Amino acid sequence: MAKINNEKVEAKVIVNEYRSLIRTISNKATTEEKKNIRKAFNLAIDAHKNSRRKSGKLYVSHPISVAKIVSTNIGLGATSIICSLLHDVVEDTDITLHNIETEFGQEVSMIIDGLTKISGVVDADVSLQAENFRKMILTISNDIRVVLIKIADRLDNMRTLQYLNQNKQERIASETLYLYAPLAHRLGLYSIKTELEDLSLKYTEPDIYFDISKKLNETKDNREKYIRKFTKPIKEKLKNEGIKCSIKGRPKSIFSIRKKMIEKEVDFEEVFDKFAIRIIIDCPQKKEKELCWKAYSIVTDFYKPNPDRLRDWISNVKLNGYESLHTTVMGMDGCWVEVQIRTQRMDEIAEKGYAAHWRYKQNKHINNKIQRNLDDWINRIRDTLEYDKKNAIEFVDDFKLNLFSEEIFVFSPTGDLVTLPNGATSLDFAFQIHTDLGKCCLGTKVNGKLVPLSHKLKSGDQIEIISSRKQKPKEDWLDFVITTKARNKIKSSLKQERKEIAKDGKETLMRKLKHLKIRFSESAVNELQIYFELNDSLELFYRVGIGKITNEQLKEFKANRDSWYDFIKSKFIKKTKQSAPIIKEEKNKLLVFGEEEEILDYKIATCCQPISGDKVFGFLTIKEGIKIHAITCPNAIRLRTNFSYRIINCKWKSAQNIEFDALIEIKGIDSVGLVSKITNIISSHMNVNMKLVNFNTDDGLFYGRINLSIKNNTHLQKVMKQILKIDGVEHVNRIKE
């Protein structure tokens, strides 16, 4: 009886969730579309039957939640809602694509097919591999709705991440932060991007997340009072000028506050712009630019603007269609306040990104400039996909490098506006104009002055390219170009050139081996690869072709070949020692691995230098065995995302009389005897040894670095707190180098 009652309660909950979904589109969907949504809902219930999520809820609650995000947060229509409700049925049940096409038509079937092909990308039990992400990006050029639904799917999985174990939480949160949040940002889904970032921080660095969250709540009342006082004169003036608008004050996200604390090396209390004011104007499209600038003028009548912080994304629309005026002004009590000015149409596009563009495009109301940006962005993705990399990790890194960075706006000699990622060089510009121009680029002029190809461009620069047919791409070009298109074309040219050299090198090697009385065969080539420690035969032939492998080296190879078994054995043993974890005596090791708490050989990663007490994980490298990284390491998110199968869980044991190196940085106001006070606190009061002390002063300020020998993270924190108490010391930070 209890079971029957429970089933009734669950069924009622599901029906209520469905009704809540329908309310989000009640005014936008036709009667026929609502019928199809109902049909998709019934099919989803029937297909998933009694399947349950990790939370214990019926599985069908997940597709309903995804459909709600798609409708409410992204703003897509009936077709996308139907696809969201059915996004798992082909993969998880007996229903086929043919069944879907028969019931809902070809368009729905094609989107479901795209969603199914990216199998496992957002499965909570499977780490996102780079190859799956690549498959997802491939779908952008076919139908962008596939990717938008997948992002909604990821958001719902992140919202229910608490039901998984800690290892899975950290892994999925890392890949979300590494790939999904930046992709949502590029697609203009700012509210989703912000939520993904905050949820990821919650599981990758929970202590920091909850600390900032608590402090934001504690300062909420004061913040709201400040916003009311700040906006009052602006509201009155806008009303008197007859400008219809709404003004909102919103706190910055926890993730963005954390980012600012790291970038500026400050505490929470020292982050001044913890909120932003947004003015949203209600006006016809033809009056938008005029009224936005009028509102800007009114704001700056009351508060002095920072001239370096004005951003005009109305005249120069971002690649993802974002339009807004941003300024930072000096408010009351000497606080900087960010003010964003935009219209209702701009605000919808700012929140819903390309989804809003998609709807405008379908209704043929989209601004031509925005449509060109959308088409340009998708064309750039096609350029990215043209280069067929075997290494999916390299693909993802290149894709992120270009597509997820901010833009600058530069001009051709004829005055055409060209949008490039921030940090782009003159050579990136040449490749952006035309591939052949980039390949033949000999030099560049920026604003009439001759500059190197590696010169980084700034918004407003005018660039002229000097080319020569004799010029060919060079390998060092890859050291400074940042756009995916430029990197792909350079690599492609070098690869072709490499193949031609390798072809000649192969013939040269055949002649040289014949001279040494060694028969050229696949076996001989394999032996040479092992001897010279090369990955493939192409690299071997190329090195012979450019003369890197000499006659003397080949003669040495022949001499060693007489005792070939011993040589191979020595090579193998050397490699095994480097790559295999070796069990050591427990007394020499401070970390234990896995649930069994095994004692394994490891090395501390130099990129973050974790110490006892830091949260850490092991990473199995190809040549150097297990490397220990802190979870806050700059490389942690990338490693967890792309190589989750090589992550090993580990934790510190209690260790007495063991000391670690920790480098701290101290900044403050210079005064007589300050260095003496600092060293006295460290050595006498805290009994800590100093391995290196380096202090500099400049115009009344001092800057110092001290390398300490400490027992663990808790010990280090105590030392840093004591130093911070000294008069004149403003900042004490640990540097992980």
Q: Which amino acid is at 446?
A: V
Confidence (pLDDT) at 579: 42
The Cα–Cα gap between 67 and 16 comes to 14
Enter the tokens of residue 348: 């919808």
As a whole number, mean pLDDT of residues 358-368 equals: 49
- What is the pLDDT confidence band of residue 394, given thresholds at 50, 70 and 90? low
Spatial CA neighbour of 117 closest among 85, 93, 150: 150
34-81, pLDDT tens digit by residue?
898 899 888 888 888 777 887 778 888 889 999 999 888 888 888 889
Residue in the block written with tokens 């790291």: 262
Strand partners, 733: 665
Among 430, 314, 434, 319, residue whose Cα is nearest residue 372: 319
Cα distance between residue 511 and residue 525, in whole Å: 13
**How far is it, in rounded angstroms, from Cα 238 to Cα 287?**
15
For residues 389, 406, 261, 216, the Cα torsion angle rounded to the nearest 10 degrees is: -110
Q: What is the pLDDT of residue 401?
A: 55
How confident is the model at residue 429, as a pLDDT?
Answer: 92
Joined together, the tokens standing for residue 596 give: 């069994």
Least confident of 129-133, 565-569, 634-638: 565-569
**In angstroms, rounded to a whole number, what is the distance separating the alpha carbons of residues 139 and 149?**
12
92: annotated active-site residue: yes
Distance CA 11, CA 486 (A): 55
CA–CA gap between residue 454 and residue 19 (Å, rounded): 57
Pairing of strands 689-698, 701-710: antiparallel
The b/e string for 451-467 (b: 16+ C-beta within 10 A; e otherwise) is: bebebbbeeebebebeb
91 is catalytic: yes
* Per-residue model confidence (pLDDT) at position 293: 94
H or E segment at 551?
Answer: helix 551-561
| CA-closest candidate to residue 87, choices 18, 138, 151, 159 | 151
Q: Which CATH class is domain 660-735?
A: alpha beta
Q: What angle do CA 641, 150, 175 make, to 5 degrees?
A: 10
Long-range contacts, stretch 404-411, CB < 8 angstroms, 24+ apart: 404/182, 404/183, 404/185, 404/186, 405/482, 407/318, 407/319, 408/457, 408/458, 408/459, 409/316, 409/459, 409/460, 410/457, 410/458, 410/459, 410/460, 410/461, 410/462, 410/463, 411/460, 411/461, 411/462, 411/463
CA dihedral 675, 676, 677, 680 (to 10 degrees): 120
Q: Render pLDDT for 639-669 as a digit per residue (tens, 0 to 9).
A: 877 777 778 888 887 655 567 778 888 888 8
Residue type, 200: S
For the beta sheet containing 616-620, the strands, ordered from the edge strand earlier in sequence to the opposite edge, are: 591-593, 647-652, 616-620, 626-630, 603-604
Q: Which two tokens stand for residue 250?
A: 């919103």
Contact by Cβ (8 Å): 193, 184: yes
Containing H/E element for 232? helix 220-240
Q: Which residues pair with 248 in a beta bridge?
A: 278
CA-wise closest residue to 644 among 620, 611, 679, 668: 620
Q: Are 692 and 666 in contact (CB under 8 A)?
A: no
Q: Which residue reads 């900042």 in tokens?
A: 731
| β-strand partners of 311 | 326
Domain ranges across the chain:
13-209, 214-363, 491-562, 586-652, 660-735
Counting residues of the chain whose pLDDT is more than 90, the rounded percentage is 14
Which long-range contacts (C-beta less than 8 Å, at least 24 apart) are formed by 411-418? 411/460, 411/461, 411/462, 411/463, 412/462, 412/463, 413/462, 413/463, 413/464, 417/316
CATH no. of 13-209: 1.10.3210.10
Superfamily of 214-363 according to CATH: Beta Polymerase, domain 2 (3.30.460.10)
pLDDT of 576 higher than 60: no
Write down the catalytic residue from 10, 17, 33, 91: 91
Whether the predicted pLDDT of 396 surpasses 50: yes
Whether residue 337 contacts residue 277, with contact meaning beta carbons closer than 8 Å, is answered with yes
Mean pLDDT of 396-410: 64
pLDDT at 188 over 60: yes
Res 368: pLDDT: 56
pLDDT at 339: 93
Classify residue 595 by its DSSP letter: T
Beta bridge partners of 228: none
Distances (CA, A) of 100 to 88, 105, 106, 108: 12, 7, 8, 7
Q: What is the rounded end-to-end Cα distance, in angstroms, of the chain? A: 64
The tens digit of pLDDT for each residue in 308-347 reads: 888 888 888 877 678 899 999 988 878 888 999 999 988 8
- Residues 525-550 have a mean pLDDT of 80
For the entire predicted model, the pTM comes to 0.68
Give percent above pLDDT 70 in the chain: 83
Token pair of 12 as six digits: 């009622």
CA distances to 386, 404, 547, 703, 724 from 664, in Å: 47, 32, 48, 11, 12
pLDDT (0 to 100) of residue 155: 93
Average pLDDT, the chain: 80
417: how many CB neighbours lie within 10 A of its CB? 10
The helix/strand/coil state of 612 is coil
Q: What angle do CA 419, 422, 425 make, to 5 degrees?
A: 85
The average pLDDT across 499-511 equals 87
d(CA 42, CA 639): 41
Q: Which residues contact 123 (CB under 8 A, 6 or more apart)?
A: none
Q: How far is the C-alpha of 262 from the C-alpha of 192, rounded, in Å?
A: 23
CB 174 within 8 A of CB 629: no
Number of H helices, E strands in the chain: 29, 20
By CB neighbour count within 10 A (0-12 exposed, 13-18 middle, 19+ buried), where does 237 fall?
Answer: middle
Task: For residue 702, give the 3-state DSSP assignment.
Answer: strand
| Spatial separation of the C-alpha atoms in residues 17 and 71, rounded to whole Å | 13
Residue found under tokens 């002029």 = 445
Cβ(338)–Cβ(277) below 8 Å: yes
Q: Which stretches of 93-138 are DSSP H helices?
A: 97-104, 106-117, 130-138
pLDDT band at 710 (very low <50, low <70, confident <90, very high): confident
Q: What mean pLDDT is predicted for residues 9-30? A: 82
The single residue of 17, 33, 92, 131 carrying the catalytic annotation is 92
More confident residue, 128 or 506: 506
299: pLDDT strictly greater than 90: yes
Which residues 6+ apart lie within 8 Å of 548 measured at CB? none
The backbone torsions φ and ψ at residue 228, rounded to the nearest 5 degrees and listed phi first, read -60, -45
Distances (CA, A) of 14 to 11, 27, 218, 245: 5, 22, 37, 39
CA-closest candidate to residue 430, choices 451, 406, 401:
451
User: What DSSP line would sit under 184-224, residue for residue?
Assistant: HHHTT-HHHHHHHHHHHHHHHSHHHHHHHHHHHHHTHHHHH
For residue 513, the surrounding DSSP H or E stretch is: helix 484-515
Report, as an integer, the average pLDDT of 16-37.
85
β-strands 626-630, 603-604 pairing: parallel
Of residues 69 and 696, more confidence is placed in 69
In this predicted structure, the answer to whether residue 572 has a pLDDT above a threshold of 50 is: no
pLDDT at 296 over 90: yes
Interval 578-628: pLDDT, tens: 444 443 344 346 888 877 778 888 888 888 888 887 888 898 876 678 889
